[in-house]
Amino acid sequence: MKRLCFALLLLPMLSHGFEPLNTDDAGTVKAGGNQIEQYFFSINRNGGNQQADVTTPGEEYTGRTDAKAFPFTYTRGLSDQFEASVSTTYYNQPSGYYAKFANYVLASKWRFYEDEQLGYAFAVKPTVVLPAGKQQQVAGLGLAAFNYGMNFIASKYWHDIEVHMNAMYMRSPYNINYSVGFATDNNRTNIFLVSVAPVWSISKDLKIALDLGVTTNPPTVEQYVSHYALIAGIYSLTESLDLGLSYMRTGMNYSQTFASQQASATRSEVGITWRF
């Protein structure tokens, strides 16, 4: 994420990407600027537990039941090329004898190269995910150990279209004395994700996007990789306020991902991004 651990969608992963997408872009918040992303997502489980439902760090969910949650990210521009962020997710569902806030993620992004004339930009984004509670791990809300990772981001910009590509690694250990999402199978602690997201400018205020990715499936007894496909729209209500929504499907392969009855899980997400 969007379950993987990256801070890179892999995850209990990195700070949230280019909301409401999983894939991040090379852009950074301007020096001295602030950005708040407040979203709501609903996950519907159609298959077994512990599949890669979410590939955005901090939004992973590996429980057996459906989930409803509010991911939040605050980002501060430290320079025109460097930003830092903190994020967490409040789970309205499921609930139990554990804190509803999970997946505290600390991240930074450095845009180390850009060519405005040719429209290229490259960035790296290291992330640290603080340990979740033991019972949160059992419920699938996070991993009860420090996770960390790195996302390499490449962006290409044209007049009416931009394309973003991510290559992410996440080191995701967990407390082996407790199950993960009520499953006792061993999990991989090295998680990889690659994704691509073309974004089209339909008008001055409206963008639509397609986001496709392949990620390591954490349970060792499952198929090695999982796939996701996501469609999204971003509408600028004002110069500083965007409304975003997206719909994602996951599967063991793209045939399952796109087939109407075979997706392992679906996720619907809606929220706002406010820059000030």
State the average pLDDT over residues 24-40: 96
Mean per-residue pLDDT over the chain, rounded: 87
State the average pLDDT over residues 202-206: 95
State the average pLDDT over residues 230-249: 96
Q: Check residue 185 and give its pLDDT.
A: 83
Q: Tell me if 216 sits within 8 A of 188, measured CB to CB.
A: yes
The band of 16, judged by pLDDT with boundaries at 50, 70 and 90, is very low
Q: Residue 5 above 70 pLDDT?
A: no
Q: What is the pTM of this model?
A: 0.89
State the average pLDDT over residues 15-22: 70
Q: Check residue 169 and give its pLDDT.
A: 95
Q: Which of these, 125, 13, 26, 31, lies nearest to 71 by C-alpha position?
A: 13
Classify 136 as helix, strand or coil: helix
Beta-sheet pairing, 225-236 with 34-45: unpaired
Go through 51-66 and write b for each residue having 16 or more CB atoms within 10 A of its CB, e for each that does not: bbbbbbbbbbbbbeee
Longest Cα separation, the chain: 55
Place of tokens 């590939």: 55
Residues with Cβ within 8 Å of residue 211, at least 6 apart in sequence: 21, 22, 23, 195, 196, 197, 228, 229, 230, 231, 232, 246, 248
Q: Check residue 62 and give its pLDDT.
A: 83
State the average pLDDT over residues 38-46: 89
Per-residue pLDDT tens digits for 83-140: 999 999 999 999 999 999 998 999 999 999 999 999 999 999 999 999 999 999 999 9
All structural domains of the chain, each given as residue ranges with its CATH number in brackets, are 34-275 (2.40.160.40)
d(CA 202, CA 250): 27
Q: Check residue 49 and give its pLDDT.
A: 46
Q: How far is CA 221 from the centre of its chain?
A: 24
The percentage of residues in the chain with a pLDDT greater than 90, rounded to a whole number, is 68
Tokens representing 241 are 């306020």
The band of 17, judged by pLDDT with boundaries at 50, 70 and 90, is low
Q: Tell me if 145 sits within 8 A of 164, measured CB to CB.
A: no
Q: Check residue 56 and give its pLDDT.
A: 58
State the average pLDDT over residues 227-240: 95
Amino acid occupying residue 186? N
Q: Residue 15 above 60 pLDDT?
A: no
| Helical segments of 209-262, H only | 254-258
State the average pLDDT over residues 242-260: 85
